[in-house]
Structure 1
């Protein structure tokens, strides 16, 4: 399963990849040198190895090396990074249009994920300026793909920055397209939610806080953010009582429960493969915790069996 990152130089491709693939605390960032050649990184999610190819910003497809064309031909998804703070964003859009015209010939079924990156408010003189740039980028991309409507290209546009969960949420969508077991995991989560009278359940990779799957119920942004932040709470507690060198996250088992003021209970269980299950349940449906714990254990067993088969 291959994913290719494309975009102009200084858009943030390498920083995003290093953040997603590092087993360090989620807020860890560093400055990286400009990419000069295609660099490969690996990410393991629920037993699946995902190969990520970071293309250099000066890449020109008409001069592509044979191995570079092969990466583009084989990849399931392309993540295209646009620097939302760069006023020459039209150059980035034009660069993608040139790439797409050639990629679609060799990989017509590829998925495209656009990350309009660095869109935190501090990077813009006014909120109106930010809104205008984002609207312009989205409009240009939509208009471009409308010209290829006969090919029915699969794409989404995401707004990302370092300061919230947007980057992890956006890359989660990439994961959903490349991991073949997502629908199976979602069905397990749906059964768990139904049998336990839960409100919602997510399976996360706790290293980079990607959500691998969720149940069939409605997706609510606030609920997702609450689960996302619960991982931070769990990791903070883990580092206090069981610190590691360089802030590296341990591949271990543990659990945490939090009762909110609205009588909602958050349940988290982490287990091997850096996975964690987060469930939301109303207090009135949590009167027999041992039954909920049993159902969660059964879910984990089913997931672990799936991972064994995947490996």
Structure 2
């Protein structure tokens, strides 16, 4: 049986627009300040990301003319995924917009299902007013040119991003969510959990990248999202300190397989974290005083959600690991 192709994120844009910095910060946990020392990408960098859903990130050099006949478009755009085009908002972006539109026109006829996501990047250096004007100008320029070439309401989505805040994680969350076939089922499950437990907001996070793969359908509050992201870092650091096995450490009582934690902030807001498996964790923001007093009910509902979650991901990580184990156990035919 042929293996399903992994969804592919294609990072494209002009040189020095910030593509490699974005990939390093989001998928390799590099501190943003260290990206200043990254060298320019000179060839296509292919990264395989192993998480709740295996996917690939391809980082393209800015000078590469991949729409020329010498390149195989099927090899680049043929796999289901997203084209993430990065525009440096602090630079002259007319050339970048022209290249983007040329790329969209080249692939739309053959690959109409690929998601086109535009990251208007490095906005941390712009004032609020100039940021808004730049965003509107870029959206207008791209839409007008595509319209002139016969593409009415082209499926292009825009995000303001920076590696120095959480905006790039928020943008990638939206990009990844479009690649999850059962997203609506996950959202319905989280909505039910929120309503039953009195949660204000709930996210299902990928622990490795801090991208949230689903949330309830209430509007996202960025300050709330940032709190939850920071809390993941705290729990991951503590888990690394105390979660390893040691021959002199004696286990006292039954041990939980997944980490679970909550913290109450100065304004009485409670953040509740529960690991779902080794890839995903559920983070909930609770402001209702009555809900906070029903910890047992919250835990029970979260465990029920965990069971439903593992059923939704029928192509589960346990099955993948079993397959990998069988491959490793298979004898070498040469011996």
Return the TM-score normalized by structure 2: 0.79
Q: Structure 1 residue 271: deviation in Å? A: 4.1
Q: Which residue of 1 aligns with 2:211?
A: 210
C-alpha distance in structure 1 between counterparts of 2:32 and 2:131, whole Å: 24
In 2 relative to 1, CA 233–142 (structure 1 residues): closer, same or farther, beyond 3 Å?
Answer: farther
SS at match of 2:48: strand
In 2 relative to 1, CA 29–240 (structure 1 residues): closer, same or farther, beyond 3 Å?
Answer: farther
Confirm whether residue 18 of structure 1 aligns to residue 18 of structure 2: no
SS at match of 2:171: helix
C-alpha distance in structure 2 between counterparts of 1:308 and 1:26, whole Å: 35
Confirm whether residue 108 of structure 1 aligns to residue 109 of structure 2: no
C-alpha distance in structure 2 between counterparts of 1:25 and 1:305, whole Å: 33
C-alpha distance in structure 2 between counterparts of 1:96 and 1:33, whole Å: 23
C-alpha distance in structure 2 between counterparts of 1:296 and 1:217, whole Å: 19
Q: Which residue of 2 aligns with 1:162?
A: 163
Q: Are the aligned partners of 2:146 and 2:152 in contact in 1 as well (CA < 8 Å)?
A: no
Confirm whether residue 37 of structure 1 aligns to residue 59 of structure 2: no
C-alpha distance in structure 1 between counterparts of 2:148 and 2:300, whole Å: 53
Of 85, 92, 109, 2:96 maps to 92
Q: Are the aligned partners of 2:25 and 2:163 in contact in 1 as well (CA < 8 Å)?
A: no
C-alpha distance in structure 2 between counterparts of 1:270 and 1:185, whole Å: 16
Q: Structure 1 residue 164: deviation in Å? A: 0.9
Confirm whether residue 55 of structure 1 aligns to residue 60 of structure 2: yes
Q: Which has the higher strand share?
A: 1
Q: Which residue of 2 aligns with 1:177?
A: 178
Q: Structure 1 residue 82: deviation in Å? A: 0.6
Q: Which has the higher contact order (CA 8 A, sep 6+)?
A: 1
> How many correspondences in the alignment?
297
Look at both structures and tell me which one has the larger radius of gyration over its CA atoms: 2
Q: Which residue of 2 aligns with 1:249?
A: none
SS at match of 1:309: coil
What does 1:280-291 correspond to in 2, within 5 Å? 280-281=285-286, 282-291=288-297
Confirm whether residue 273 of structure 1 aligns to residue 278 of structure 2: yes
C-alpha distance in structure 2 between counterparts of 1:212 and 1:26, whole Å: 22
Runs of 4 or more, structure 1, over 6 Å off, are none
- Pairwise CA RMSD of aligned residues? 2.7
Q: Structure 1 residue 216: deviation in Å? A: 2.7
Q: Structure 1 residue 4: deviation in Å? A: 1.3
Q: Structure 1 residue 303: deviation in Å? A: 1.8
Moved more, 99-108 or 169-178: 99-108
C-alpha distance in structure 2 between counterparts of 1:127 and 1:254, whole Å: 39
User: Mind listing any 5+ residue stretches in structure 2 that lack a counterpart?
Assistant: 1-6, 245-256, 321-335
User: Mind listing any 5+ residue stretches in structure 1 that lack a counterpart?
Assistant: 244-251
Q: Structure 1 residue 149: deviation in Å? A: 6.8
SS at match of 1:268: strand
